[in-house]
Amino acid sequence: MADEAFRTEQEKDLYAPHIRAVNEMVDELRDQDDRGWMPYVAPWHGGVEARVLSILRDPGPKTQKGGGSGFLCVENDDATAERQCNGFAEAGIDPRDTIPWNAYPWYINRAPDAEERRAGVTVLARLLCLLPCLDVVLLQGGDAQDGWRRLERTHPELVRQGQYEIVSTYHPGRQALWSPDPAIRAARERHRLDAYLRIAQVLQ
């Protein structure tokens, strides 16, 4: 997204057929109840054709319009996106097979509180209804995992047992992966890559 031509291409395809329903939902939800900014999902990803839903905690600063790209995208110009992009590439996961999302999809740049978590689950339930090709849900970090448990309790009809392969691992951000013990850091990175490799197996 640091490349102006790439970013312009994403903006041009904002409502391309495969991503239209998702980004129209974002238009509807943006600033709802004074919650503020919600980034679009980049057309670089699979949209309604995605087989993998990748959930993090909340949109980072580089998803902001102006200071960032305005999109959720593994090509964003920040370390977390780069780490995830490289991990997907190493495992052989095509970005077009994925759609990025967040447990709390509005921009807050902090951990969501209980009310915000509930709001995020409501939106996640709507998103699932737009993804008929979905096979795998990738939960990265405790907030994503908590959001999915809440969804299972509140919308059991959307997550019947065995409907999706659920893969849980660490958030790709530096803070989640860091430890003063090099062995622990290496184990966390290995866990994350193993999760991606498991997804690649499902997609084969």
CA atoms within 13 A on the CB side of 107: 19
pLDDT digits (tens, 9 = 90+) for 121-161: 999 999 999 999 999 999 999 999 999 999 999 999 888 76
Q: Is the full-model pTM beyond 0.85?
A: yes
| Residue 79 CB partners (closer than 8 Å, separation 6+) | 173, 174
Q: Report the 3 state secondary structure along 130-168.
A: CCCCCCEEEEECHHHHHHHHHHHHHCHHHCCCCCCEEEE
Give yes or no for a contact between 55 and 103, defined as CB atoms under 8 angstroms apart.
yes
The CATH code of the domain that includes 24 is 3.40.470.10
The domain tally of the chain equals 1
Give the confidence band of 67 by pLDDT, cuts at 50, 70, 90: confident
Reference 196, options 178, 174, 170; nearest CA is 170
Q: Provide the token pair at 91.
A: 């495992």
Reference 27, options 17, 39, 44, 10; nearest CA is 39
Structural domain that includes position 107: 4-203
pLDDT digits (tens, 9 = 90+) for 157-200: 888 767 899 999 999 988 888 889 999 999 999 999 999 999 99
Q: Provide the token pair at 44.
A: 């670089």
